[in-house]
């Protein structure tokens, strides 16, 4: 008979769904009055207090409700999930009663009505209806979901605040959202990878989480762990609400490895007990178990298409199973040390394994052949495929690395202060995350290798976040003001130099105008001198003619003398005018020279000022750097203020009274 696991599904249900409805007109079907006679007659000979075949007693209410060696057999309110019902309807083995036809339809209907009605012992008993909410089976496509899951509200403060951080024992990222989950003591913290903002804490009172996995659609997050040597369990949470939806496993040691199938119908787990167990998420029943591993099971993962399941152990064992049947598919031999992690390539054709033997190995699924291996970290502790087929890894060398699909290193991300324990890749932001033994998770931008955020395994409360962000708002604003002042000072220097250049240019223009006027005056003086020189030459010619006339005509002596005297007078006058014109021309030439010298000086001063006005390369770079820094600081300030608003809104939402449940009908 199948073994039933502890299975808890929580969902907000109206009170009317948790108790049997009061319908006075309908007869209550009870164990004592209706079911006991049937079971005593048909099954009591084998399943009574004396014989207890299979550990099951059916002729006693408490015995029946306790179940048998296979676990609980009756689920109040859900006959379809009740193991007893599947046996008496001959849907499961062993059939009850054995070697005989199944019970008559009328008797089956009575038992079904009794189970669905809340397994009443007597007419005065209270119905016991198990809360149920099976995870819906989904079609495995690998495509981006229409709605990407993110927490819809703050999921709650940490209930445990250790004095120091503890090692990062589990780390995972959502396949479709900037969301990551990191282990803590009895809790798991969800945070935004882009802002490092804590979005809430999922309580895991079962113990220390050792494995965290998001479902392939990103709407569920699985946590496995427990208390070493004592207990272990897997819990599945709703990412949007933080509700615990499923619990499977009742281990006697911590769960070290687990995964949920892509269609969300199976959960596989393993740990120090060396047993691989696979449970149904719909019923909580054990589907199959395999004990081929010879040491602690350390890694488990379903293939993205859900067909296969890989598991690995501490003694270098690596096995691939058919996920539905548990049949062995491949035994992959090659590692020489403990295998710490396995991860499937997105196409499900290759599985990668990471080992303490200092290798990462790739195995193809056509023949189970090792197709590639390379050395990594002096012992690889964790490894994950990215959405596009690259691999992220970390290990003993305290470095996170990103590889292409053939094992060639793309980039490394140093900075961890202790052994690398966990690695994850945020496909939405192209960030790579590494967690180490010291308890810190670092987030790098894969584009430039810059460290963008750092968190630890001891998350702050909402009030502590608000206080820290409030303090940082003032610091960021002060930084922005300082950078703005630096930019203004540099810009003032450049502006002053430009003003001086403009003034020098204006002075040069004035000097050029004066030179132009002096040149025009010189030109006019030269012209006047030329005209006066011509007049002087004409006067000299007239004097010569007069002297010739004196010599030619003595008879006209008096007249000649008179003309001679007039000509001489005219020549003397013209000589004076010419001398004045020459002086004016010389003065105009001197004025032009002085104007030209002034213009040359003004031009030199203007050229120098204009040359010095533009920003020097180092000044231009300083302006560019300060401007960029100011913009970055302003953006940071806006982001911090927005974060503060979100945190205050989350606090107000958390303080608001919860909605009252619907009244019972």
Residues 97-128: pLDDT tens digits? 888 898 999 999 999 999 988 889 998 888 88
Would you state the pLDDT for residue 241?
Answer: 95
Sheet with 380-385, side-by-side order of all strands: 380-385, 391-395, 400-403, 409-413
DSSP states of 460-488: PPHHHHHHHHHHHHHHHHHHHHHHHHHHH
Q: CA 349, CA 372: separation in Å to the nearest integer?
A: 14
Would you state the pLDDT for residue 314?
Answer: 97
Q: Which residue has the tokens 């992220």?
A: 392
Structure tokens at 152: 């819809």
Structure tokens at 372: 């590639």
558: number of Cβ within 10 Å: 8
463: number of Cβ within 10 Å: 11
Would you state the pLDDT for residue 567?
Answer: 52
Residue 586 neighbours by CB under 8 Å, 6+ apart = none
Are 213 and 221 a contacting pair, CB within 8 Å?
yes
DSSP states of 389-421: S-EEEEETTS-EEEE-TTS-EEEEE---SS-EE
Structure tokens at 294: 């010879």
Q: Residue-wise over 418-443: b if at least 16 C-beta within 10 A, else e? A: ebbbbbbbbbbbebbbbbbbbbbbbb
Strand bridging mode 286-290 / 431-436: unpaired
Q: CA 89, CA 42: separation in Å to the nearest integer?
A: 13
142: number of Cβ within 10 Å: 14
Helix count (H) and strand count (E) of the chain? Answer: 8, 28
Would you state the pLDDT for residue 558?
Answer: 60
What DSSP element (H or E) covers 622?
helix 617-655
Would you state the pLDDT for residue 30?
Answer: 93
Structure tokens at 366: 């056509």
Task: Quick: pLDDT tens for 338-361.
Answer: 999 999 999 999 999 999 999 999
DSSP code for 71 = B
Q: CA 308, CA 306: separation in Å to the nearest integer?
A: 6
Q: What is the 3-state secondary structure (H, E, C) of 279-309?
A: EECCCCEEEEEECCCCCCEEEEEECCCCCEE
Which among 568, 513, 518 is positioned nearest to 543, based on CA atoms?
568
Q: CA 121, CA 74: separation in Å to the nearest integer?
A: 13
Would you state the pLDDT for residue 16?
Answer: 33
Distances (CA, A) of 294 to 42, 255, 335: 44, 16, 14
Would you state the pLDDT for residue 420?
Answer: 97
* Parts of the chain with a pLDDT under 50: 1-25, 133, 659-665
What DSSP element (H or E) covers 422?
strand 420-426
Phi, psi of 6 (to 5 degrees): -60, 130
DSSP states of 92-145: SSSPSSTTSPPPPHHHHHHHHHHHHTT-BSSTTSPP------PPPP-----PPP
pTM above 0.75, yes or no: no
How many CA atoms are closer than 13 Å to the CA of 456, on its beta-carbon side?
15
CA 68, 72, 78: angle at the middle one, nearest 5?
Answer: 140
Q: CA 654, CA 649: separation in Å to the nearest integer?
A: 8
């Amino acid at each position: 008979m199948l073994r039933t696991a502890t299975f808890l599904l929580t969902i907000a249900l109206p009170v009317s769904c948790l108790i049997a409805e009061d319908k006075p007109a309908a007869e209550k079907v009870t164990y004592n009055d209706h079911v006991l006679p049937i079971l005593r007659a048909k099954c009591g000979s084998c399943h009574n207090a004396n014989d207890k075949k299979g550990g099951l007693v059916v002729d006693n209410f408490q015995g029946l409700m306790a179940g048998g060696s296979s676990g609980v057999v009756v689920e109040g309110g859900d006959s379809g999930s009740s193991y007893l019902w599947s046996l008496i309807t001959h849907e499961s083995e062993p059939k009850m009663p054995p070697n005989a036809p199944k019970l008559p339809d009328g008797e089956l209907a009575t038992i079904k009505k009794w189970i669905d009605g809340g397994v009443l012992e007597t007419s005065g008993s209270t119905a016991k209806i198990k809360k149920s909410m099976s995870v819906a089976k989904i079609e495995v496509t690998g495509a981006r979901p229409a709605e990407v899951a993110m927490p819809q509200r703050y999921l709650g403060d940490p209930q445990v605040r250790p004095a120091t951080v503890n090692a990062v024992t589990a780390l995972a990222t959502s396949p479709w959202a900037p969301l990551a989950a990191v282990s803590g003591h009895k809790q798991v913290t969800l945070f935004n990878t882009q802002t490092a903002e804590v979005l809430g804490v999922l309580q895991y009172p079962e113990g220390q989480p050792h494995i965290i996995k998001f479902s392939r659609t990103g709407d569920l997050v699985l946590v496995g762990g427990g208390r070493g040597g004592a207990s272990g369990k897997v819990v599945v949470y709703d990412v949007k609400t933080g509700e615990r939806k499923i619990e499977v496993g009742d281990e006697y040691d911590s769960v070290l490895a687990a995964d949920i199938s892509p269609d969300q119908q199976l959960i596989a787990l393993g740990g120090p007990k060396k047993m691989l167990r696979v449970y149904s998420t719909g019923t909580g029943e054990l589907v199959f178990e395999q004990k081929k591993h010879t040491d602690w099971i350390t890694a488990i993962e379903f293939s993205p298409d859900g067909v296969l399941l890989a598991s690995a152990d501490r003694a270098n064992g690596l096995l691939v199973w058919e996920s539905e049947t548990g049949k062995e598919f491949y035994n992959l031999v090659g590692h020489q040390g403990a295998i710490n992690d396995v991860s499937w390539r997105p196409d499900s054709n290759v599985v990668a394994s990471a080992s303490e033997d200092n290798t990462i190995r790739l195995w193809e699924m056509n023949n189970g052949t090792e197709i590639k291996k390379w050395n990594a970290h002096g012992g690889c502790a964790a490894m994950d495929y990215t959405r596009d087929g690259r691999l992220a890894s970390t290990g003993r060398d305290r470095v996170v690395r990103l590889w292409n699909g053939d094992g060639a290193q793309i980039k490394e991300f140093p900075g961890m202060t202790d052994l690398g324990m966990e690695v994850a890749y945020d496909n939405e932001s192209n960030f790579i995350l590494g967690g180490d033994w010291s308890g810190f998770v670092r987030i790098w931008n894969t584009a430039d290798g810059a460290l963008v955020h750092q968190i630890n395994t001891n998350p702050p409360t909402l009030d502590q976040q608000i206080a820290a962000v409030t303090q940082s708002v003032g610091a960021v604003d002060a930084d922005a003001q300082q950078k703005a002042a630096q930019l203004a000072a540099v810009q003032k220097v450049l502006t002053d130099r430009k003003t001086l250049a403009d003034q020098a240019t204006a002075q040069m223009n004035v000097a050029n105008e004066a030179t132009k006027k002096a040149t025009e005056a010189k030109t006019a003086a030269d012209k006047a001198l030329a005209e006066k020189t011509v007049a002087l030459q004409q006067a000299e010619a007239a004097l010569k003619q007069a002297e010739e006339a004196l010599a030619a005509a003595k008879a006209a002596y008096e007249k000649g003398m008179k003309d001679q005297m007039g000509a001489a007078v005219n020549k003397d006058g013209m000589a004076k005018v010419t001398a004045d014109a020459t002086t004016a021309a010389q003065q105009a030439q001197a004025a032009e020279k002085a104007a030209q010298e002034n213009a040359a000086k003004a031009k030199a001063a203007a050229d120098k000022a204009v040359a010095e006005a533009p920003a020097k390369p180092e000044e231009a770079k300083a302006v560019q750097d300060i401007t960029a820094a100011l913009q970055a600081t302003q953006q940071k300030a806006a982001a911090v203020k927005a974060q503060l608003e979100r945190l205050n809104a989350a606090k107000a939402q958390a303080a608001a009274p919860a909605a009252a449940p619907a009244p019972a009908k």
